[in-house]
């Protein structure tokens, strides 16, 4: 629990963790954004044994919608905003969905604190260079985990 020792948790009326943040206000703001109007804020050292592990295991799936360049070689420059993709150069920008897949063509980082996929790359080597002390250390600290994914076109909404 060393990594999480500098964090605060927002808990609901059943004393279940609903959000975690690096400060009291951050934890509170996250809980309010999730619809918990008056969460109780506690330091992670005050949590029941196993509560943090349970929260990490039972979190909802992260947001999987992103944008990318659609090239002949596959999807490149995968980012949460179309503006970030545009800054990488020309080409068709499409909305994509990130799907965990052990046979996938890309790798990404599942950030546990923000509960989002980040740093989507075409190879594990590209993802690993994002971590100066090694991806294994970040996983051991429970910051997140590497995930092999498939990047696919986001299905268009049916206007009818």
Q: For residue range 35-60, what is the model confidence (pLDDT) as tens digits?
A: 777 788 888 888 888 887 777 776 66
75 shares a domain with 48? no
Phi, psi of 151, rounded to the nearest 5 degrees:
-105, 125
Question: How many domains is the chain built from?
Answer: 2
> For residue 123, which phi and psi values (nearest 5 degrees)?
-145, 155
Same domain, yes or no, for 43 and 83? no
Instruction: Give the domain extent around 100.
Output: 65-153
For residue 141, being part of any structural domain is answered with: yes
| 51 and 90 both lie in a single domain | no
Domain contains 160: no
Query: Do 80 and 47 belong together in one domain?
Result: no
Counting residues of the chain whose pLDDT is more than 70, the rounded percentage is 91
**In this structure, are 137 and 78 located in the same domain?**
yes
92 domain residue, yes or no: yes
Q: Is residue 144 part of a domain?
A: yes
Domain presence at residue 159: no
Decide if 41 is inside a domain: yes
- State how far the Cα of 158 lies from the Cα of 136, in Å rounded to an integer: 42
**33 with 107, same domain?**
no
Domain boundary pick from 57, 79, 95: 57
Is 38 found in the same domain as 110? no
In a domain, 126, yes or no: yes
- pLDDT at position 23, please? 77
Q: Report which of 145, 148, 143, 144 is spatially closest to residue 120, judged by C-alpha positions.
A: 148
Q: Which residues of the chain have pLDDT under 70?
A: 1-5, 58-61, 63, 157-160
Residue among 18, 20, 9, 24 nearest 144 (CA)? 20
Average pLDDT, the chain: 84
* Neighbouring C-beta atoms of residue 100, cutoff 10 Å: 15
Residues 64 and 33 sit within 8 Å (Cβ to Cβ): no
Q: What is the reported pLDDT for 1?
A: 43
**Beta carbons of 18 and 11 less than 8 angstroms apart:** yes
């Amino acid at each position: 629990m060393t990594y999480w020792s500098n964090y605060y948790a927002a808990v609901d009326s059943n004393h279940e963790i609903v959000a975690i943040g690096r400060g009291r206000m951050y934890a509170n703001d996250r809980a309010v954004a999730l619809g918990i109007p008056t969460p109780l804020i506690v330091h992670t050292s005050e949590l029941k044994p196993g509560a943090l592990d349970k929260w990490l295991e039972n979190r909802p799936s992260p947001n999987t919608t992103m944008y990318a360049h659609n090239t002949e070689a596959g999807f490149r420059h995968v980012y949460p905003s179309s503006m970030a993709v545009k800054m990488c150069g020309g080409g068709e920008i499409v909305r994509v969905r990130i799907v965990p897949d052990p046979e996938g063509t890309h790798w990404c980082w599942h950030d546990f604190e923000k509960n989002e996929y980040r740093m989507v790359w075409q190879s594990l080597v590209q993802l690993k260079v994002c971590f100066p002390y090694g991806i294994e250390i970040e996983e051991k600290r429970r910051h997140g985990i590497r995930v092999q994914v498939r990047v696919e076109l986001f299905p268009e909404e049916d206007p009818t």
